[in-house]
Structure 1
């Protein structure tokens, strides 16, 4: 696959862009990506529920990976179980999530999206999932891993800057 096929241009001398050129391209691209993500229409039936970005990640895991425990959700979200428990309680009161006993261990609770809200949540998240699938599908597993790790490193560096 040529560099042209990948959506970026080689320098005049045929070399790949340097770090500064890549940064410039990303600084122009990121606001457009965020703007498009913000314009994804929230379905009417869940607009009034005042869902925040932290809810989006939790709902994404439940939608794509199925029901799971608070402990499993906390591990995936990389937050404390008490944080997830509070979010689950909030979303349960709004009728978005339900908690039920685990049939194999009655001490555990399994969290899932309610059947009534699943279609709305699915339609809300589907556009982004389709776009990511289209962008990531042509990449090798190693390239996908590097892409995800690069985004994580960027997010961590941004968080470090907030702490200063």
Structure 2
């Protein structure tokens, strides 16, 4: 059984790895000069998960940010031609956000940059180590199984 202090070094390692991932990903993105911020790239990736154009409130909920933050991100992406606002066909008071062709191309470039960054980060690991890491990360991402009470 671990004590609260015994997990401190592990927590520090996780934080250092997270910062390293961001630095490497940022470097890979900079070489592509896509003209998007990390927050805008996150919004573009989130938009790609929807089958139909979402409302800004849907994006804010999924991104776990306030709606105003989404408005600012959408404004910048719309100015650069990567997204556009479209009217909801069933409710004219609702605005939806749609990827443009340029936005889809930017998203392809973002994915390529993320893949190359991941390859760089994972390069020291053997295929077996990568498999173990993937399982451990799945466990951490999904969280512990819920405890059932009688």
The one of 62, 70, 74 equivalent to 1:84 is: 70
Are 1:27 and 2:12 counterparts?
yes
Alignment of 1:1-164 (within 5 A): 17-40=2-25, 41-42=28-29, 44-46=32-34, 49=35, 51-66=36-51, 67-125=53-111, 127=115, 135=134, 139=138, 144-146=141-143
Structure 2: how far apart are the matches of 1:29 and 1:139? 15
| Greater RCO, CA 8 A, separation 6+ | 2
Contact 2:44 2:103 in 1 (8 A): no
Structure 2: how far apart are the matches of 1:18 and 1:24? 12
Tell me how many residue pairs correspond in the alignment.
125
- Tell me the C-alpha RMSD between the 2 structures: 3.2
Say if 1:77 and 1:119 are closer, same or farther in 2 by CA, change over 3 A: same
Say if 1:65 and 1:21 are closer, same or farther in 2 by CA, change over 3 A: farther
Contact 2:86 2:97 in 1 (8 A): yes
Spell out, residue by residue over 1:77-114, the C-alpha distance to the aligned partner (whole angstroms, 9 max, x if none). 23332332222111100111111122222322211222
Q: 5+ unaligned residues in a row in structure 1: which ranges? A: 1-15, 148-164
Structure 1 residue 53: Cα displacement: 3.2
Q: Segments of 4+ in structure 1 off by > 4 A? A: 128-131, 136-140
After TM superposition, the score normalised by the length of structure 2 is 0.63
Structure 2: how far apart are the matches of 1:79 and 1:57? 12
Say if 1:135 and 1:121 are closer, same or farther in 2 by CA, change over 3 A: same
